A and B are shown apart, each in its own frame.
Chain A
Amino acid sequence: MASGRGTAMIAAKEKITPGQFMMTVIQAQIGVGVLFLPSSVQSVAFNDAWISVILSGVTAFLLILVMWGLARRFPSVTFLEYLPLLLGKVFGKTVLVFYAAFFILECSLVLVLFADVIKDWIFTNTPTWVILSLALIASLYIAQENIRTIARFLVLTFVLIFLLVIIAAYAFRDANILYILPINQSGFPSILKGVVKSMNSFYGFEMLLFCFPYVLGEGKSILKATVLANIFSTLFYTFLVFTCLIVFSPEELKVIPQPVLYMVKALSFTIIERADLYFMTIWAVVVVSTVIAYLFMSSRTISVLLGQKKHRRTAPYVALFILIISLIPHNQEMINVLQTYVGILSGALLVGFPLILLGISYGFGIKGKEQPG
């Protein structure tokens, strides 16, 4: 029972501020979706895709409330430690295996999509394993460290997201607002389908489960930080989807998988051409940030499963495992299969399960100790 309690006391030098936490969540949320979200949501919700994205943001907000409600009851330990308290040791560990599988698969999916885009757009002849290992090695370097180091790095690269906004905003030059009219043409069921499709881009707020005890300040300020992060990501995604919808006609979006890149590709400034390459350079950092977050979460989970206190040792093996998994899919069909698995797992583990846990916690009155100090 006490195996997980060893880390209950968190050293002050591992703590992060709510501001740092906010940017960590943003970075975990914003990732490959930047390029894929517009056309994947558009394929089901058509010109109302932007409404779907906003609704996904609202859904994410509700899920954050649930997770926060859960984490608040165990203020001094992380999810990995209180899960066995709620479910019993054996069942708790079994569930953790699923969580570990989900984080690993999600991380692999992000990398597969990343490598796919890089190969399609820039490095056609470079072998996939090179692209994947380079991204993973860079991520591993940071993900091995403690939360504070990770958060600091993510704060540093946060600025880049604004550069993406600036480059994309330039495409408004060719925009035609008429493309999104009439609003609600596709009908509510299609918009809901779009919500399901876009949810995957909003995951990342589960960092809350891992970071809660590490964040300085009261529970309320942590909630505020997470919600603000979610609002930022929602606005960012909505902006991108909206821009793509008004720049490309519906028929065009069907055949363009990465409309954001396509949109900026034809931009030509006085001394800069091929704005898509600049966009992708920045996007690569944003993706690596997401990979860092997932690599961190998966290696933490695996460490707990193996009874290790630190995740520094386990992280390289997890990274290797992720690399192997991401090398498997070699065509679109297999990527779709992977996407479906991740979708099912995330639905169960990030939507359904926290609700059940919250119910158990309240129903049986299981609570963690008050945070010392």
Chain B
Amino acid sequence: MKKRWARIGLRAGLCGFFLLCGCWDQHLLKDERNVSIGGMDAGQGDKLVATVSIRDITTTELGSKDLSEVHTVLARTTQHARDLLNDEVSGDYSNSKMRVLLLGEELAKNHDFMPHMDVYYRDPKSPLSARVAVTQGTAKEMVELRKIGSRTIGLYIDNLLKSSVDTSSIPDVNIQTLHPLDRGYDFAVPYLTIKDSMPSLLGTALFSGTRMTGKLNLDESKLYLLLCDQIGKTLKLTLKSNTPSAPDGYEYVTVDVNKAKRKFKVTVTKDGEIRARLHLRLRVTVVEDPSNHLYKMAVMHDLERHLSRELTSNAQDVVEKIQRANHDGFGIARRLMSFHPKVWEQLDWNKEYPRIPFDTSVSLQIINTGITD
């Protein structure tokens, strides 16, 4: 009998453990003020200007309404900024639900922004899947737009970036993929601007190491992603057609890339010269072509040849541009480390990279023309 009571007591005690849940590490959503978008700018000296937008939802009988509360602080480090913001904001400041992190162009170009990122990699609750983008001008201006239509700026930019990643206009990067330690390739991030007090995409900002050194417009950016073998869900290219002196409105053709196959080879010759060969094979669907009637095979092949030539020359321009920016987006350094470790050890990479001769070519094949020929 005594034993039985002891057992019951023990089990009751064990049930008591469930009450421990709320003792130490409880974070209630109602107490937290969640940041939806954060921006970093270079401040005076080596200071950091941090701007955040906190999303609030107020529910009335008429439905719920989103509010965006913007705070800006001048801080020494990112964590210092968090502490200052926490003092300024009512409630517990939390950035674990942040969707987008913006970097001001000045910060990205002339400062090393990586020290400011450290806390994101160290904190277990940090939003590693937040998207990263560079803005023309300052990130502060962008965050201070507060709301676009009925949506808060954080959600708006997040959706803007997401849909553009799907259509392969910009690279898909988040805080995690930015982790820059010795990867053997450089990262590129979306580049935003404010147009008519609306955020809009300009293209891609190219980084060399941790500094922004160049940019690509949206067309170049698409081609760049094709060459990097990083296309999203779809990719459409609008190019000049092969009908010279066509009347207005008839001069362009749009193709949808169904399949892209990239061949990329880095070779080192006997006398230590590095060469890169980049060949891209595209299978496309013509989705818009007012000038051609593609039921004739000859016309179609003409168009294929023409588009291949045009893409090849565009691709060569893109490669030249990224080489000038000293941006190794294809990961040539990684290939050298992996396949030619001895060559790599003796290399002054930053000097060598812009001089590497690229053999770039694109070939295109039309496999479908929609429901008309």
Please give, as numbers and ranges, the residues of chain A lying within 8 Å of B14 by CB-CB distance: 137
The docked-state distance in angstroms from the alpha carbon of A265 to that of B130 is 12
Binary interface encoding of chain A residues 253-276 relative to chain B, with 1 for a CB under 8 A from any of its CBs, else 0 = 001000000000111100001000
Q: Which residues in chain A, 89-140, are within 8 Å of chain B measured between CB atoms?
A: 120-127, 130, 134, 137
Instruction: Select which of B24, B177, B334, B341 is within 8 A of A185 by beta carbon.
Output: B341
Please give, as numbers and ranges, the residues of chain A lying within 8 Å of B20 by CB-CB distance: 130, 134
Please give, as numbers and ranges, the residues of chain B lying within 8 Å of A120 by CB-CB distance: 124
The interface centre, meaning the residue of A130, A178, A265 with most chain B CB atoms within 10 A of its CB, is A178
Please give, as numbers and ranges, the residues of chain A lying within 8 Å of B129 by CB-CB distance: 266-268, 273
Asked whether any CB of chain B lies closer than 8 Å to the CB of A252, the reply is: yes
The docked-state distance in angstroms from the alpha carbon of A168 to that of B337 is 26
- Are A250 and B24 CB-contacts (below 8 A) given A121-B124, A176-B334, A185-B341? no
Q: Are B338 and A178 in contact (CB under 8 A)?
A: yes
Asked whether any CB of chain B lies closer than 8 Å to the CB of A251, the reply is: yes
- Are A126 and B174 CB-contacts (below 8 A) given A121-B124, A178-B331? no
Q: Are B174 and A181 in contact (CB under 8 A)?
A: no
Asked whether any CB of chain A lies closer than 8 Å to the CB of B23, the reply is: yes
- Are A125 and B25 CB-contacts (below 8 A) given A178-B331, A182-B341, A266-B176? yes
- Are A249 and B183 CB-contacts (below 8 A) given A120-B124, A137-B14, A266-B128? yes
Nearest residue (CB) in A for B20 is A130
Interface size on B, residues (CB 8 A): 25
Please give, as numbers and ranges, the residues of chain B lying within 8 Å of A123 by CB-CB distance: 24-25
Q: How far is the CB of B101 from chain A (nearest CB, A)?
A: 13
The docked-state distance in angstroms from the alpha carbon of A120 to that of B124 is 7
Q: Are A127 and B24 in contact (CB under 8 A)?
A: yes
Q: How far is the CB of B97 from chain A (nearest CB, A)?
A: 9
Asked whether any CB of chain A lies closer than 8 Å to the CB of B179, the reply is: yes
Q: Are A265 and B25 in contact (CB under 8 A)?
A: no
Q: How far is the CB of B162 from chain A (nearest CB, A)?
A: 11
Q: Are A182 and B339 in contact (CB under 8 A)?
A: yes
Asked whether any CB of chain B lies closer than 8 Å to the CB of A145, the reply is: no
The docked-state distance in angstroms from the alpha carbon of A268 to that of B158 is 14
Nearest residue (CB) in B for A120 is B124
Q: Are B335 and A178 in contact (CB under 8 A)?
A: yes
Please give, as numbers and ranges, the residues of chain A lying within 8 Å of B23 by CB-CB distance: 126
- Are A174 and B177 CB-contacts (below 8 A) given A137-B14, A182-B338, A249-B182? yes
The docked-state distance in angstroms from the alpha carbon of A174 to that of B187 is 14
Nearest residue (CB) in B for A263 is B176
Asked whether any CB of chain A lies closer than 8 Å to the CB of B17, the reply is: yes
Nearest residue (CB) in B for A126 is B24
Please give, as numbers and ranges, the residues of chain A lying within 8 Å of B337 by CB-CB distance: 178
Q: How far is the CB of B17 from chain A (nearest CB, A)?
A: 6
- Are A251 and B182 CB-contacts (below 8 A) given A265-B176, A273-B129? yes
Nearest residue (CB) in B for A127 is B24
Nearest residue (CB) in B for A47 is B338
Binary interface encoding of chain A residues 169-185 relative to chain B, with 1 for a CB under 8 A from any of its CBs, else 0 = 00000101011011001
Q: Are A250 and B25 in contact (CB under 8 A)?
A: no
Asked whether any CB of chain A lies closer than 8 Å to the CB of B12, the reply is: no
The docked-state distance in angstroms from the alpha carbon of A343 to that of B144 is 57
Q: Are B128 and A265 in contact (CB under 8 A)?
A: yes
Please give, as numbers and ranges, the residues of chain A lying within 8 Å of B128 by CB-CB distance: 265-266
Please give, as numbers and ranges, the residues of chain A lying within 8 Å of B335 by CB-CB distance: 178
Q: How far is the CB of A180 from chain B (nearest CB, A)?
A: 8
Contact-size category for A: 20 to 34
Asked whether any CB of chain A lies closer than 8 Å to the CB of B184, the reply is: yes
Q: Are A124 and B184 in contact (CB under 8 A)?
A: no
Asked whether any CB of chain A lies closer than 8 Å to the CB of B57, the reply is: no
Q: Are A126 and B331 in contact (CB under 8 A)?
A: no
Q: How far is the CB of B299 from chain A (nearest CB, A)?
A: 41
Asked whether any CB of chain A lies closer than 8 Å to the CB of B181, the reply is: yes
Q: Are A251 and B181 in contact (CB under 8 A)?
A: yes
Q: How far is the CB of B332 from chain A (nearest CB, A)?
A: 11
Q: How far is the CB of A88 from chain B (nearest CB, A)?
A: 40
Please give, as numbers and ranges, the residues of chain A lying within 8 Å of B184 by CB-CB distance: 178, 249
Please give, as numbers and ranges, the residues of chain B lying within 8 Å of A250 by CB-CB distance: 182
The interface centre, meaning the residue of B20, B25, B175 with most chain A CB atoms within 10 A of its CB, is B25
The docked-state distance in angstroms from the alpha carbon of A123 to that of B20 is 12
Binary interface encoding of chain A residues 309-350 relative to chain B, with 1 for a CB under 8 A from any of its CBs, else 0 = 000000000000000000000000000000000000000000
Q: Which residues in chain A, 211-252, are within 8 Å of chain B measured between CB atoms?
A: 249-252
- Are A181 and B338 CB-contacts (below 8 A) given A120-B124, A126-B25? yes
Instruction: Select which of A178, A265, A268 is within 8 A of B334 by beta carbon.
Output: A178
Binary interface encoding of chain B residues 114-125 relative to chain A, with 1 for a CB under 8 A from any of its CBs, else 0 = 000000000010
Nearest residue (CB) in B for A250 is B182
- Are A249 and B25 CB-contacts (below 8 A) given A134-B17, A178-B338, A273-B129? no
Binary interface encoding of chain B residues 170-192 relative to chain A, with 1 for a CB under 8 A from any of its CBs, else 0 = 00001111010111100000000
Q: Are B181 and A255 in contact (CB under 8 A)?
A: yes
Please give, as numbers and ranges, the residues of chain B lying within 8 Å of A265 by CB-CB distance: 128, 176
Binary interface encoding of chain B residues 324-339 relative to chain A, with 1 for a CB under 8 A from any of its CBs, else 0 = 0000000100110111
Q: How far is the CB of B7 from chain A (nearest CB, A)?
A: 12
Q: How far is the CB of B131 from chain A (nearest CB, A)?
A: 11
Q: How far is the CB of B171 from chain A (nearest CB, A)?
A: 13
The docked-state distance in angstroms from the alpha carbon of A181 to that of B334 is 10
The docked-state distance in angstroms from the alpha carbon of A123 to that of B334 is 38
Nearest residue (CB) in B for A185 is B341
The docked-state distance in angstroms from the alpha carbon of A120 to that of B182 is 25
The docked-state distance in angstroms from the alpha carbon of A22 to that of B128 is 39
Please give, as numbers and ranges, the residues of chain B lying within 8 Å of A134 by CB-CB distance: 17, 20
Nearest residue (CB) in B for A256 is B121
Give me 30 A-to-B residue pairs in the complex whose CB atoms sit less than 8 angstroms apart, sorted by A's number: A120-B124, A123-B24, A124-B124, A125-B24, A126-B24, A130-B20, A134-B17, A137-B17, A174-B177, A176-B331, A178-B184, A178-B334, A178-B335, A178-B337, A179-B338, A181-B338, A182-B338, A182-B341, A185-B341, A249-B181, A249-B182, A251-B181, A251-B182, A251-B183, A252-B183, A255-B181, A265-B176, A266-B175, A266-B177, A267-B129
Given contacts A122-B124, A268-B129, 13 further A-B contacts (CB under 8 A): A122-B25, A125-B25, A134-B20, A174-B177, A178-B331, A178-B334, A178-B337, A250-B182, A251-B181, A251-B182, A255-B181, A266-B129, A266-B174
> 6 closest pairs, A vs B, by CB?
A251-B182, A181-B338, A251-B181, A266-B176, A266-B128, A125-B24
